[in-house]
Chain A
């Protein structure tokens, strides 16, 4: 860096001071009547709007949630003990919002957009995006038609996710929900390297600080932080910050979506968000409903998830998109998408509780994880039978669609037969062959954490599995065979893999795949 003379610095400061306008304006104020548990009741502020940011005399911010006849209920975005009765509160005349820009990539921020990773303040051009914003209307959307590769074989083959889709990840604690989300983020590295970045936002709600630090470290290690922002509201943050965190993350995702780029957002997890929303609602004395959640907890999640969308690829139409914040109006571009992966934690596999049923009905499908599968070593522990993707099928690449078309039904059928075969009766040849194929497919679909597989490799191995070409390989050797097979293809038939990745599946390619598999399996024959 070139040296700066002290005189120059003083000169700049002087200029700034000279140009400083300290115009005193008429402000609208109120005073705190009552404060406690992260909630303040404020007298005055007669013109304040719902969801408006307010500022307390010590600079702390709050968001107005309740407008009552003679007072205003607001949530504090900071520690309660710093606010006293009688404190003056000012209107900011701004709806709660967050400053967003490309500089957020690689950073860990809190709900109000302040960096908390110790890497200094955000610099450069930032755009103001409101936390609460209406989802794009029907005119500005298009059907999901592009795949979002998760790099998890079981998902990309059987429960494909498309860009702009909302796919729920649901399961008990310790079943690998976060692992799937993190793997998906890591898998986007491939696209980042190609220059077709899928921007990722990971929203951690009510988690331990150490868990978030760990996730940040893992993402850093796999080179995924370069295109990822982490929005973090830990368990010790005020409830308001926790329940607004997904909205902050969504605002960041929308910035990429509306400027014509693909984005992926993970909400980890929405059950904790619902709990903090319940806390705030009860403190604001809103009437409780089922499981003591307020009546609008469904709307809380539906309006959030509705903001995930695939924006139409027509710039002229997009220019008229509804509810676009003025800050990004000049940057609007079509073709962007925001894919949402909400996570819900169930208790004892109970999906019929209030929040799980709500979110299941809102999303376009769910990936159901089971602890029994997890404990029996099937990881990712996806229960294929009840996991679905309602729209993702249209987004699969052609080769994958052809190869994996029947895999889901086959595996579900296999699960059923397997349960029967446990009774130990003699089985006919047809049943045996279903069982054998199924067992090997289960092995193929197993996958270690943090090791996403590219789509061409997935197609190549699943082709062999669904065709039943590895009947001769013992079940415990399937993994070994898989590595060998993929390595061989990479070495000798790179072109076939590349074509598979482009969606082709011609006869000459399948012949190569089959012959390679045949050669390799002969080794495993007893």
Chain B
């Protein structure tokens, strides 16, 4: 069975609902929180997935966790998923929702990985460059990863520009091995 269908359908439904109500921005913030929670707290997910937990208990948990942070619509969405016994797709559908939101508002997520913290100047120059070449708004996340040794890796959606030192060394090793 093509499982991704389920999560995509729920995400689409929520997205359209939010657009109709005009609460897209709020819903996006809420859903981002739910997604982050699902990813960062595996125990939350596990509780939701457990077949021995009652539906009512799961619903109560969702209210307890998110009640004071998210809006009515988002809570209703989680409630519906739990009611339909699709709680295992919450992570996937929230991710799909965020994807839909980005597509709708023309935002590209950009990830910049460097070995050391970079200067503000350099950062703005990179943002400007990406923005001009992509011709769209970008949402930048920075990450510091010592294992790349130097240089940088720039990821825009599912495209990657790997200008790290570790990658160059890897290529060098491969080329030298090939000629032996």
Q: Mark A9-38, 1 if CB is under 8 A from B, else 0.
A: 000010011001010101111100000000
Expressed in whole angstroms, the minimum distance between the Cβ of A296 and any Cβ of chain B is: 15
Expressed in whole angstroms, the minimum distance between the Cβ of B74 and any Cβ of chain A is: 20
Interface size band for B: 20 to 34
Within 8 A of A (CB), among B4-48: 4-5, 7-8
Q: Are B96 and A27 in contact (CB under 8 A)?
A: no
Bound-state CA distance A43–B96 (Å) is: 11
Bound-state CA distance A45–B171 (Å) is: 22
Bound-state CA distance A46–B155 (Å) is: 14
In this assembly, does B3 line the interface, its C-beta being within 8 Å of a C-beta of chain A?
yes
Contact among B7, B92, B162, B172 with A20 in the assembled complex (CB-CB below 8 Å)? B172
Contact among A16, A22, A30, A90 with B179 in the assembled complex (CB-CB below 8 Å)? A16
Q: Mark B155-176, 1 if CB is under 8 A from A, else 0.
A: 1011111110001100110011
Bound-state CA distance A26–B158 (Å) is: 10
In this assembly, does B64 line the interface, its C-beta being within 8 Å of a C-beta of chain A?
no
Q: Are A43 and B95 in contact (CB under 8 A)?
A: yes
Expressed in whole angstroms, the minimum distance between the Cβ of A119 and any Cβ of chain B is: 15
Q: Are B5 and A69 in contact (CB under 8 A)?
A: yes
In this assembly, does A503 line the interface, its C-beta being within 8 Å of a C-beta of chain B?
no
Within 8 A of B (CB), among A289-322: none
Count: A-B pairs, CB below 8 Å: 57
Q: Are A26 and B176 in contact (CB under 8 A)?
A: no
Q: Which residues of A contact B176 (CB under 8 A)?
A: 13, 16
Q: Are A22 and B4 in contact (CB under 8 A)?
A: no
Bound-state CA distance A88–B161 (Å) is: 13
Q: Are B159 and A27 in contact (CB under 8 A)?
A: yes
Q: Which residues of B contact A22 (CB under 8 A)?
A: 168, 171-172
Bound-state CA distance A16–B179 (Å) is: 9
Q: Are B3 and A285 in contact (CB under 8 A)?
A: yes
Q: Which residues of A contact B162 (CB under 8 A)?
A: 24, 27
Most buried by B among A26, A69, A287: A69
How many chain A residues have a CB neighbour from B under 8 Å? 24
In this assembly, does A70 line the interface, its C-beta being within 8 Å of a C-beta of chain B?
yes
Bound-state CA distance A45–B159 (Å) is: 8
Bound-state CA distance A71–B5 (Å) is: 10
Q: Which residues of B contact A29 (CB under 8 A)?
A: 155, 158-160
In this assembly, does B2 line the interface, its C-beta being within 8 Å of a C-beta of chain A?
yes
Q: Are A287 and B5 in contact (CB under 8 A)?
A: no
Q: Are B1 and A30 in contact (CB under 8 A)?
A: no
Within 8 A of A (CB), among B139-159: 155, 157-159
Q: Are A70 and B160 in contact (CB under 8 A)?
A: no
Most buried by A among B1, B162, B168: B162
Q: Mark A39-69, 1 if CB is under 8 A from B, else 0.
A: 0000111100000000000000000000011
Contact among B5, B99, B158, B175 with A16 in the assembled complex (CB-CB below 8 Å)? B175
Bound-state CA distance A168–B110 (Å) is: 56
* Nearest residue, chain A, Cβ from B96: A70
A71/B160 contact (C-beta < 8 A), A22-B172, A29-B155 known:
no
Q: Which residues of B contact A17 (CB under 8 A)?
A: 172
Bound-state CA distance A16–B161 (Å) is: 25
Expressed in whole angstroms, the minimum distance between the Cβ of A32 and any Cβ of chain B is: 13
Bound-state CA distance A46–B96 (Å) is: 14
Q: Are A70 and B2 in contact (CB under 8 A)?
A: no
Expressed in whole angstroms, the minimum distance between the Cβ of B92 and any Cβ of chain A is: 7
Bound-state CA distance A90–B171 (Å) is: 14
Q: Which residues of A contact B99 (CB under 8 A)?
A: 70
A26/B2 contact (C-beta < 8 A), A16-B176, A69-B8, A70-B7 known:
no
Q: Which residues of A contact B172 (CB under 8 A)?
A: 17, 20, 22
Q: Are A68 and B4 in contact (CB under 8 A)?
A: yes
Which residues from chain A sit less than 8 Å from chain B, CB to CB? 13, 16-17, 20, 22, 24, 26-30, 43-46, 68-71, 88, 90, 121, 285, 287
27 A-B residue pairs with Cβ-Cβ distance under 8 Å, sorted by A, are: A16-B175, A16-B176, A20-B171, A20-B175, A22-B172, A24-B162, A24-B167, A27-B159, A27-B161, A28-B158, A28-B160, A29-B158, A29-B159, A43-B95, A44-B157, A45-B158, A68-B3, A68-B4, A69-B5, A69-B8, A70-B4, A70-B95, A70-B96, A70-B99, A71-B4, A90-B160, A285-B1
Which residues from chain B sit less than 8 Å from chain A, CB to CB? 1-5, 7-8, 92, 95-96, 99, 155, 157-163, 167-168, 171-172, 175-176, 179-180
| Top 10 A-B pairs, shortest CB-CB distance | A44-B158, A68-B4, A69-B4, A29-B160, A70-B4, A27-B160, A22-B168, A24-B163, A69-B8, A68-B2
